[in-house]
Amino acid sequence: MSSLEPSLVLGSASPRRAELLRQLGVGFTVYAADIDETLLSGEQPRDYVERMAREKSEALDLASGTVLLTADTTVVLREQSLGKPDDKEHARAMLNALSGRSHEVLTAMCARDHGHTELVVVRTLVEFGELSRGLIEEYLATDEPWDKAGAYALQGLGGSFVLRVDGSVSNVIGLPLFEARELLQRFGLVPVLGKATA
């Protein structure tokens, strides 16, 4: 094993994932993967996020001495994946469906170096309160819903829709930090908690 610590690449364009990863104090660079994120016919939500995380990883070149981390998050309601909304009507339908119900958030993380690949899936249960038509319309008038799975952001105004969270809060935002820290440690990257190095 080399005495040099491997470098980390985050294969994601998500500013939320980058912000969360900085909390671990591991230096990294960002290269976004451009892939087709279409859900396959009959594909189960867990299979979907696993495939997305893996395909994002495979779409990027891996330099020597580098660890590549990719991830994908989906909101699951009644065993159906709710991705990012296509338009305002789609976002409205998602929020109406989530109102007053519990849903799952699944994030798959894929870490890869030249030696091996490891995939981890984390599940969080989120319960929404009842959302009035007026509240949904006010939210749709903001910039927040448009690039978020399930059309809401827990870390933003959408957090006021949530009655309770059972599991990792950071998972709902896009990167489960406990599991990410442990995963990176298995690849020889030692987080320095509280030290923002990226």
CA 147 to chain centre: 12
Number of helical H runs and strand E runs in the chain = 6, 7
How far, in Å, CA of 89 to CA of 149, rounded?
15
Mean pLDDT score, 9-24:
93
Active site residue 147: no
Of 72, 86, 87, 113, the active-site residue reads 72
Categorize the per-residue pLDDT at 193 as very low, low, confident or very high, splitting at 50, 70 and 90. low
Residue with tokens 């030290």: 195
Q: Looking at residue 166, what is its pLDDT? A: 98
E strands in 49-115: 66-77, 80-82, 102-112
Categorize the per-residue pLDDT at 43 as very low, low, confident or very high, splitting at 50, 70 and 90. very high
Per the DSSP assignment, residues forming a β-bridge with 111 are 69, 118
Q: Looking at residue 6, what is its pLDDT? A: 79
Rounded-to-5 percentages of helix, strand, coil across the chain: 35, 25, 40
Residue predicted with more confidence, 196 or 76: 76
At 59-102, the pLDDT tens digits run 999 988 999 999 999 999 999 999 899 999 999 999 999 999 99
Q: Helix or strand or coil: residue 77?
A: strand
Q: What percent of the chain has pLDDT over 90?
A: 83
How far, in Å, CA of 88 to CA of 95, rounded?
11
Contact (CB, 8 A) for 8 and 185 = no
Which domains are seen in the chain, by residue range?
Answer: 7-186 (3.90.950.10)
Sign of CA dihedral 47, 49, 54, 56: positive
- Residue-averaged pLDDT of the chain: 92
Instruction: Check whether 198 has a pLDDT greater than 60.
Output: no
Instruction: Check whether 29 has a pLDDT greater than 50.
Output: yes
Q: Looking at residue 197, what is its pLDDT? A: 47
Residue with tokens 């189960």: 44
